[in-house]
Structure 1
Amino acid sequence: MNELRKHIEEVTSITDEEFDYIKTFFTEKKVKKHQYLLQDGDKVSLEYWIIKGIFRAFYIDKEGKEHIVQFALENWWLSDYNAFFNEKESGINIVCMEDAEVLCLTLSGREQLAAELHKMEHFFRMKLTKGYSAQQCRIISLLSNNPKKRYEEFASLYPNIMQKIPKKYIAEYLGVSRETLSRLYSNY
């Protein structure tokens, strides 16, 4: 749980007493490689903070093609947020790409923490703002950049995961074929 405290304190300082209270809202879970945190159609009751590991969030279209929404690494928050905040079924899948550990938080726990501790309301707001901003940048990149530029952005933003994620998933994430990715990768 010390990692969680460090993570929170990147945004706001908290006392020992506040952290003792905050950590009561979290449960720890170990996740094996290829294990799903969420599957399309599941009721979404948790969000996850990743202690260690890598996850892939994706949806499958009507033709059965997988579309990667995001990768998530250590210190990232992850869920199907549309389903989580609206208390409905998931429209995406989240699968573990290597053995991992996460902390789980319920929506009611999150809301209680935010209501009782202004510092946590501020923390959650800052994390959502940053996540929304990153998502918007990704959408704009997919709509306006060529494959080379998308690859360069990905490599620049996430150099620590380039070797950890199979190339086929990076290609899916970037919206290019595996062959195109190989050409881009060899030129980088």
Structure 2
Amino acid sequence: MKFIILSGYKIFRGRQNILPMNDVLKEHIAEIIELNDDDYHVIAEYFRTIKFRKWQFVIQENQTVDKIYFVLEGLLQSSFVDNYAREHILHFATKNWWITDFQAYFKREVSTAAVQCLEDCVLLSISFDDVDKLCKAKPQMERFFRMKCNNAYLALQSRIISLMSNSAKERYSNFIKENPDLFQKLSKKRIANYLGMSRETLSRLNT
């Protein structure tokens, strides 16, 4: 298997060296659409496996973004820094989740958000152009990606409504209920940032 080392991570290259269809991604796709083994063989050709170490950046601010990432292993966060040098966490991603700077990815522009690994990570990447090619080769995948976008929009709307209408205690309780695995992995500081409250407020909620 040939690979190239780029900024500390490994990316497998060359369609002649394509890995077999990953079972995690296969099961993820099968939740939405029905495909046969030949379909999955074609799909596998469009993805690349990349490994990152803890604290490495997958995407940095002001970087051109043309790939979206599916998480096989690990934990990541997407965040941006405002004009007052304050970091704001947009979302997290763990196994079976997708992550990128979505605005930069869809608008084909440089990133405003950074994506960083909070653990050692194994990701599958696919470029914007390859998503288009894949959907033309396997039209069923267009429905898959559309459904993933729909679900992401619903989650975003729910998060905005929660930030605007729920109390700090309600946001914290909902986060624990909806994300028990993340709650165990993340520091209280990161959870507080994501929920739009101070670390001190979150500490009071724990007493």
* Superposition TM-score, scaled by structure 1 size: 0.97
Return the match for 2:145 from 119, 124, 135: 124
Decide which of 173, 189, 193 is 1:168's aligned counterpart.
Answer: 189
SS in 2 for 1:163: helix
Amino acid at match of 2:176: A
1:38 alignment counterpart: 59
Q: Which residue of 1 is the match for residue 27 of structure 2?
A: 6
Of all paired residues, the percent bearing the same amino acid is 38
Between the aligned partners of 1:148 and 1:11, the Cα distance in structure 2 is 34
Aligned-pair CA distance for 1:45: 1.3
Structure 1: 5+ residue stretches without partners: none
* 1:93 matches 2:119: no
In structure 2, how many angstroms separate the alpha carbons of the residues matched to 1:177 and 1:65? 12
In terms of fraction of residues, the more helix-rich structure is 1
CA RMSD of aligned residues (A): 0.8
Letter in 2 for 1:48: Y
Looking at structure 1, the residues matched to 34 and 45 of structure 2 have their Cα atoms a distance apart, in angstroms, of 18
Question: Secondary structure, in 3 states, of the residue corresponding to 2:136?
Answer: helix
Match of 2:73 in 1: 52
Q: Partner of 1:70: helix, strand, or coil?
A: strand
Distance (whole Å) between structure 2 residues aligned to residue 89 and residue 38 of structure 1: 10
The residue correspondences of 1:167-186 to structure 2 (distance < 5 A) are 167-186=188-207
Q: What whole-Å deviation, never above 9, does each CA across 1:8-50 have from its counterpart, x for those lacking one?
A: 0011111111100000000000111000011110000110000
Select 1:23's aligned residue among 33, 44, 47: 44
Equivalent residue for 2:134, pick from 113, 117, 124: 113
Distance 2:110 2:103 in 1: 9
Alpha-carbon distance, 1:125 to partner: 0.6
Equivalence map 1:145-160=2 (5 Å): 145-160=166-181
Matched residues in 1 for 2:158 and 2:132: separation?
A: 28
In structure 1, how many angstroms separate the alpha carbons of the residues matched to 2:123 and 2:57?
Answer: 12
Which letter does structure 1 place at the counterpart of 2:104? A
Range 110-119 or range 129-138, more displaced: 110-119
Can you list the C-alpha shifts for 1:36-92, whole angstroms capped at 9, x where unaligned?
A: 011110000110000011111000000000001001111001111111011110000
Q: Given residue 52 of structure 1, which amino acid in structure 2 is its aligned partner?
A: E
Residues in 1 aligned to 2:206 and 2:122: alpha-carbon distance in whole angstroms: 30
CA distance in 1, matches of 2:199, 2:167: 15
2: distance between equivalents of 1:185 and 1:77? 31
Relative CO higher for 1 or 2, CA cutoff 8 Å, sep ≥ 6?
1
Give yes or no for the alignment of 1:102 onto 2:123. yes
Q: Matched residue pairs, number? A: 186
CA positional deviation for 1:101: 0.5
**Worse overlay, 117-126 or 17-26:** 117-126
Distance 1:59 1:31 in 2: 20
Match of 2:85 in 1: 64
